[in-house]
């Protein structure tokens, strides 16, 4: 464009470079030219232009108009005046309403007008819009050898067929170079899957479409009920839904399951089907172990069962893949003091069937009573306790946290003594209290009522007794007694 403001016939319009769109995909052999990704059609599109020679909006208004196809009216017009057109501002807009529902090839060009009213027109850019996904066949299942559907996939089948399972994709509407077909080999039990991707080219997009699932992939996903399906994405990114799946049984990998009895590592003796367990060795819990020679697989769901389900203290413990040891909480052990406990592990297999190991019988001993903490008087009281010093708040007593304490424990604290008539009397100050979370570490504090303490005979011992049930109240363990003297 001439720098002069003279608009005489001596000016010859120039053809500017075609507009450009940064989002366009690279062309491929046989593919649609200058294809715009579907993801770029959800918002307005910037169409970039070349700045013409001698542009100078400081000398007057300049404009750029964008034209689509044969429409004589511009689809966008921008103007600049007073400042140079920066490189980041050298665009006009193709609005989003033109991008969807408008599939096919379209022509874009722009026209410029400088401050001196001289105009130039650009070359044409052809772009392709595609916002419509391919359409799968009504019967969209992958076509697989009927023998596999009927008999299942065996290792011998892989040997006989070169280590691959070949399937055919039913014809869909309509294939093009650049289409991407993603086929999935799925473990229906746990959702694990592997994929095979096939890209169509100019040389094969019109041919029947076959996909090979290789032996290595099949072995990764393993044995059990498996299914195959696929979806198609065209080069613009329009994607079909997943096809209807085809299911069949696979048995190409695994040795038979082998589930010998478990063992408790802290138990006495060598692994066998019977064990003695000393509670003093498992205060922080016991370690239940699946033998190293057990055989099971990563899509089996495994639980270690400590105790018969439904009994107090019984617990199923998940066994994550990659480990064969789990921790049995001390609370569950305590609930089984002086009992015989069955321990085994069970598997839920990929086909939803169950398999249970052989059983370990564990005889759990008793925990020595003398190892449980005796309740204690708290400040300001010591032995002996003066009746005259007892305030309305009573006598504070502290029961320290004991071995195997948990929120499953029930606690009863009782004070006993002789009244003025020398009769044995007692009062429960805490009755079958369920241990709270904070008390598991902090212990339990109670107060012996003033009225009861005042009723007791002086110069005699009184008793504070703690009883704990580890099994919901079925049995109670009495701790050693606190027996201070009461004086006037």
Residue of 402, 412, 407, 338 lying closest to 374 (CA atoms): 402
| pLDDT above 50: residue 6 | no
* 11: confidence class by pLDDT, cuts 50, 70, 90: low
Distance of CA 320 to the CA centre of its chain: 14
Task: Name which CATH class applies to 373-487.
Answer: mainly beta
**Cα angle value 9/15/18 (rounded, 5°):** 155
What would the DSSP string read from start to end of 168-200?
Answer: EEPP-B---TT-EEEEEEEETTT--EEEEEEE-
Sign of the torsion angle spanned by Cα atoms 212, 216, 221, 224: positive
CA separation for the pair 267, 130 (Å, rounded): 70
The SS3 assignment for 377 reads strand
Tally of CB atoms within 10 A around 467 = 16
- Across 47-51, average pLDDT: 96
Q: Indicate if the pLDDT at residue 290 is higher than 90.
A: yes
pLDDT at residue 4 above 50? no
Helix (H) or strand (E) holding 274, with range, is: strand 274-277
Mean pLDDT in residue range 412-416: 98
Question: What is d(CA 205, CA 37) in angstroms, rounded to the nearest whole number?
Answer: 20
Please report where in the chains the tokens 């076959």 appear, as a residue: 210
**C-alpha dihedral sign at 224, 227, 228, 233:** negative
- Token pair 């009755």: residue: 431
pLDDT single digits (tens) 438-454: 999 999 999 999 999 99
- CA 279, 281, 312, 296 dihedral sign is negative
Q: Which CATH architecture has domain 146-251?
A: Sandwich (2.60)
* CATH number for domain 15-129, candidates 3.30.70, 3.30.1490, 2.160.20, 2.60.40: 2.60.40
Say whether pLDDT at 246 is over 70: yes
Supply the pLDDT for residue 7: 39
CATH number of 263-367: 2.60.40.10
pLDDT digits (tens, 9 = 90+) for 341-392: 999 999 998 778 899 999 999 999 999 999 999 999 999 999 999 999 999 9
The tens digit of pLDDT for each residue in 155-205 reads 889 989 999 999 999 999 999 999 999 999 999 888 999 999 999 999 999
Q: What is the pLDDT of residue 407?
A: 96
H/E element holding 287? strand 286-289
- Residue 466 tokens read as 């703690």
Q: Is the pLDDT of residue 81 over 90?
A: yes
Domain residue limits, the chain: 15-129, 146-251, 263-367, 373-487
pLDDT above 70 covers what percent of the chain? 97
Task: Measure the CA–CA gap between 428 and 74, rounded to whole angstroms.
Answer: 94
pLDDT confidence bin for 221, thresholds 50/70/90: very high
Is the pLDDT at 19 greater than 50? The verdict is: yes
- Nearest 5°: the CA angle 287, 305, 470 is 75
The answer, yes or no, to whether the previous bond of 223 is cis (omega within 30 of 0) is no
Residue 421: φ, ψ to 5°: -90, 10
Q: How far apart are CA 66 and CA 92, in angstroms?
A: 7
Q: Is the pLDDT score of 2 beyond 50?
A: no
Say which residue, 121 or 253, is predicted with more confidence: 121
HSE at residue 303, side-chain half, CA atoms within 13 A, is 12
At 5, is the pLDDT very low, low, confident or very high (cuts 50, 70, 90)?
very low
Q: 166-169, long-range: CB within 8 Å, 24+ apart, which pairs? A: 166/210, 166/211, 166/212, 166/213, 167/142, 167/143, 167/210, 167/211, 167/213, 167/228, 168/142, 168/143, 168/208, 168/209, 168/210, 168/211, 169/142, 169/143, 169/209, 169/210, 169/211, 169/230
Confidence of residue 9 (pLDDT cuts 50, 70, 90): very low
pLDDT, average across residues 411-426: 96
Q: Is the pLDDT of residue 295 over 50?
A: yes
**Fold agreement (146-251, 263-367):** yes
C-alpha span between 338 and 364 (Å, rounded): 5
């Amino acid at each position: 464009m001439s720098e002069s403001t003279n608009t005489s016939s001596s000016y010859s319009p120039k053809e500017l470079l075609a507009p450009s769109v940064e989002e366009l995909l690279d062309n491929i052999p046989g593919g649609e030219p200058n294809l715009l990704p579907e993801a770029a059609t959800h918002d307005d599109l910037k169409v970039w232009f070349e700045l013409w020679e001698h542009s100078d909006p400081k000398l007057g208004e300049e404009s750029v108009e964008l034209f689509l196809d044969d429409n004589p009216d511009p689809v966008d017009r921008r103007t600049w005046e007073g400042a140079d057109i920066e490189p980041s501002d050298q665009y006009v807009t193709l609005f989003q309403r033109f991008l969807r529902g408008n599939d096919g090839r379209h022509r874009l060009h722009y026209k410029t007008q400088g401050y001196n009213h001289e105009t130039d027109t650009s070359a044409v850019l052809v772009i392709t819009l595609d916002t419509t996904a391919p359409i799968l066949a009504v019967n969209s299942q992958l076509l697989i050898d009927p023998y596999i559907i009927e008999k299942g996939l065996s290792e011998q089948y892989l040997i006989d067929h070169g280590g691959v399972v070949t399937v055919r994709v039913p014809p869909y509407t309509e294939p093009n170079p650049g289409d991407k077909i993603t086929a999935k080999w799925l473990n229906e039990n746990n959702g694990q899957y592997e994929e095979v991707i096939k890209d169509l080219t100019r040389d094969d997009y019109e041919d029947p479409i076959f996909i090979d699932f290789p032996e290595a992939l099949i072995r990764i996903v393993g044995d059990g009920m498996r299914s195959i399906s696929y979806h198609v994405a065209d080069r613009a990114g329009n994607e079909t839904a997943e096809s209807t799946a085809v299911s069949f049984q696979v048995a190409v990998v695994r040795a038979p399951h082998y589930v010998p009895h478990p063992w408790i590592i802290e138990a006495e003796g060598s692994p066998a089907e019977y064990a003695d367990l000393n509670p003093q060795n498992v205060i922080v819990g016991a370690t239940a172990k699946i033998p190293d020679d057990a055989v099971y697989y990563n899509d089996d769901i495994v639980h270690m069962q400590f105790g018969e389900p439904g009994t107090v203290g019984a617990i199923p413990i998940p066994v994550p893949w990659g480990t064969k040891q789990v921790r049995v909480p001390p609370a569950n052990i305590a609930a089984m003091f002086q009992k015989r406990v069955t321990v085994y592990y069970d598997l839920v297999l990929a086909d939803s069937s169950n398999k249970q190991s052989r059983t370990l019988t564990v005889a759990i001993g008793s925990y020595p009573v003398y190892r449980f903490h005796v309740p204690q008087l708290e400040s300001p009281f010591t032995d002996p306790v003066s009746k005259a010093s007892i305030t309305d708040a009573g006598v504070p007593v502290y029961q320290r946290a004991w071995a195997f304490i948990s929120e499953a424990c029930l606690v009863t604290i009782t004070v006993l003594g002789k009244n003025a008539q020398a009769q044995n009397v007692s009062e429960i100050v805490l009755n079958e209290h369920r241990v709270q979370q904070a008390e598991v570490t902090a212990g339990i504090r109670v107060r012996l009522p003033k009225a009861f303490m005042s009723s007791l005979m002086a110069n005699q011992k009184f008793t504070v007794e703690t009883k704990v049930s580890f099994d919901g109240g079925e049995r109670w363990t009495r701790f050693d007694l606190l027996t201070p003297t009461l004086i006037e």
